[in-house]
Structure 1
């Protein structure tokens, strides 16, 4: 699926001379149209990856198979995706390894799930939990489109993590947990029960309020190492002769990452020798209070039901197009090479 000449059913990314990207799925007899002309799919089928095809108007298009990062940014989405810069750090700093048992909540559009599935491989397990059925359907369809079939390591459960996780796994059987949700602090008890001693919990949150609340809740609960938190900013560079400078636009704040490790049973805390900063818990400090959070509270843009239904249809159509590849096609042999 990732090597050899282009074949029907392959996704191909076309780049024009101005750097604009267009992703198409190859079908015999079809054409890709722009306002100036078209490119015939038949001119790409059988051509090698990294070829250049000429538009009927004379414009050259570079044709490449999309990388995972390209697919994530162009796939149908019902919820905000975890961007590649954060997904890469989650896989690395949570130490997601082949054969691991990983729990993920929530799934959203499945962007992070794709990176986690690649990391655990066919022999691992990724148990994903999502509260919304429409988001879960979009995520399943996106994964089928990318891998070309159902990934054998993946299961998606629609429901609340706190209620569903104890029914899905036994105590101390999960290696890693990834939480991308509004209130991860509500899940610390059930996650702590499921993790093996030394297991890693990594949380992806959008605001400093969430970041602080996760850290303080874990400290009060005990049984966790000291939380470690950070964010990453990615700035591209313009490279042209002697004109080497930072790009005017950059990928700024997307979210914070926080990691904890589970202590052995009976170990409540590892005492800190470093004192808190002066005033950290002074008169202005407000202890955690119980309250309901919503996506709107964090400034997240919500999508209308009509738009979500259209996204579900688009994701399902892309997956069905990939499903239409004949059963004896060599691209259906395994998913680890995707």
Structure 2
């Protein structure tokens, strides 16, 4: 078993990247050296006797366990983009607005024979994302610190997917059209309706076809003796606009 691994007890998750020293939790202290003799599915006990299950670190843990800088895009929204674009495992993807790196990490994980180029304007965010990529063992991400609008003109290769999660996304839309190969997709994430409409109209002006704007809502179910009902901790996350260069 190699690091990183996930330790789980109830609703508590901890990511362990080294098998040395101690991990202090509110359920007790774990001696990390003991993990060297363990396998996935085994348990390890704290000094208080509380058991933690040992699990492999997988893509499903990116959102939960990555270090956060700005608020990341939710997995449900990233999944909609991946499915809607029909992402192939050998794609070339441009991700503008790296943030904590959650979106780029999911793109890279499901694009294992391809490449992801991710651009972040703020160095402090890029540093957090870089550590997350290293921890996740993702080798197919190329990180650039700079302004995506300026950098866009420097690429000679054509991309299969361009994803934007950035403030000046309207300005980036025509450049994204030039960067995409024929039948490539542009996807734009926004938390506000006004900006969503602005990029929708700009995509039509830029020549994108099959442009759609939508919201993905995940509603959990709560099962109690008296009955079942839906509940959500976070109802709205953001809106997605997608179009295709045809």
TM-score with structure 1 setting the length: 0.66
Alignment of 1:294-333 (within 5 A): none
Asked if the contact 2:173–2:206 (Cα under 8 Å) also holds between the matched residues in 1, the reply is no
2:172 corresponds to: 187
Deviation at 1:68, TM superposition (A): 2.1
Ranges in structure 1 where 5+ consecutive residues have no aligned partner: 1-5, 264-338
136, 140, 143: which is aligned to 1:156?
A: 143
2:90 corresponds to: 99
Deviation at 1:196, TM superposition (A): 1.6
Is 1:74 the counterpart of 2:58 in the alignment?
no
127, 130, 151: which is aligned to 1:137?
A: 127
Relative distance call for 1:50 and 1:216 in structure 2 (3 A) is same
Relative distance call for 1:37 and 1:216 in structure 2 (3 A) is closer
Ranges in structure 2 where 5+ consecutive residues have no aligned partner: none
Asked if the contact 1:183–1:210 (Cα under 8 Å) also holds between the matched residues in 2, the reply is no
Considering fraction of residues, name the structure with more strand.
2
State the alpha-carbon separation in 1 of the partners of residues 108 and 57 from structure 2: 18
Asked if the contact 1:237–1:244 (Cα under 8 Å) also holds between the matched residues in 2, the reply is no
State the alpha-carbon separation in 2 of the partners of residues 204 and 239 from structure 1: 33
State the alpha-carbon separation in 1 of the partners of residues 100 and 166 from structure 2: 13
State the alpha-carbon separation in 1 of the partners of residues 106 and 245 from structure 2: 23
Structure 1 residues 141-189: Cα deviation after superposition (integer angstroms, max 9, x where no partner):
2101111xx61x322222222221121225xx22111111123211121
State the alpha-carbon separation in 2 of the partners of residues 175 and 36 from structure 1: 46
Deviation at 1:243, TM superposition (A): 6.5
- The runs of at least 4 aligned residues of structure 1 exceeding 6 Å deviation read none
Asked if the contact 2:177–2:206 (Cα under 8 Å) also holds between the matched residues in 1, the reply is no
Asked if the contact 2:221–2:230 (Cα under 8 Å) also holds between the matched residues in 1, the reply is yes
2:211 corresponds to: 227
Select the structure of larger CA radius of gyration: 1
Asked if the contact 2:107–2:116 (Cα under 8 Å) also holds between the matched residues in 1, the reply is yes
| SS of 1:227 mapped into structure 2 | strand
| SS of 2:48 mapped into structure 1 | coil
Relative distance call for 1:53 and 1:243 in structure 2 (3 A) is farther
TM-score with structure 2 setting the length: 0.89
Deviation at 1:35, TM superposition (A): 4.8
158, 163, 175: which is aligned to 1:178?
A: 163
Asked if the contact 1:12–1:26 (Cα under 8 Å) also holds between the matched residues in 2, the reply is no
Asked if the contact 1:15–1:63 (Cα under 8 Å) also holds between the matched residues in 2, the reply is no
1:84 corresponds to: 75
Over the aligned positions, Cα root-mean-square deviation in angstroms equals 2.3
2:198 corresponds to: 213
10, 22, 28: which is aligned to 1:31?
A: 22
Alignment of 1:286-301 (within 5 A): none
State the alpha-carbon separation in 2 of the partners of residues 119 and 50 from structure 1: 24
Asked if the contact 2:7–2:52 (Cα under 8 Å) also holds between the matched residues in 1, the reply is no
State the aligned residue count: 246
State the alpha-carbon separation in 1 of the partners of residues 227 and 101 from structure 2: 36
Asked if the contact 2:96–2:120 (Cα under 8 Å) also holds between the matched residues in 1, the reply is yes
State the alpha-carbon separation in 2 of the partners of residues 209 and 45 from structure 1: 53
2:45 corresponds to: 54
Asked if the contact 2:186–2:243 (Cα under 8 Å) also holds between the matched residues in 1, the reply is yes
State the alpha-carbon separation in 1 of the partners of residues 132 and 149 from structure 2: 26
